[in-house]
Amino acid sequence: MSHLTVDLYQSATNPDKFLALPAGTDPTTLTGPMVFDQDFGEVKRYQEAFEFDPDENYAGVDAAKIAADILTIKWAMYKRGADAA
């Protein structure tokens, strides 16, 4: 799978939770992430135009699932850390 250019957002209420969106997507136009997890009701930009490689090993996250979510539903929620779920 090829690289995806994504913008990463961090939950304002839980700093271990992140939202990945296709680059240029305005997170305020999405309701899905907030419906599933209220911690995404307020987010702050963490990194812009990140070159996400689904084949890369990112500590504590399932890169393949993040890529699949971005490609199918246009956003991906993930939790960083050893207890990521």
Domain ranges of the chain: 4-79
10 Å Cβ neighbour count for 68? 14
What is the average pLDDT value for the chain, to the nearest integer? 90
d(CA 16, CA 79): 6
d(CA 24, CA 75): 12
Q: Is 54 left (phi over 0), alpha (psi -120 to 50) or beta?
A: alpha
Residue with tokens 């271990």: 16
**Which pLDDT value is given to residue 57?**
85
**Which pLDDT value is given to residue 81?**
67
pLDDT in tens, 37-48: 999 999 999 999
**Which pLDDT value is given to residue 23?**
96
pLDDT in tens, 65-78: 999 999 999 999 99
**Which pLDDT value is given to residue 85?**
44
What CATH number labels 4-79? 3.10.510
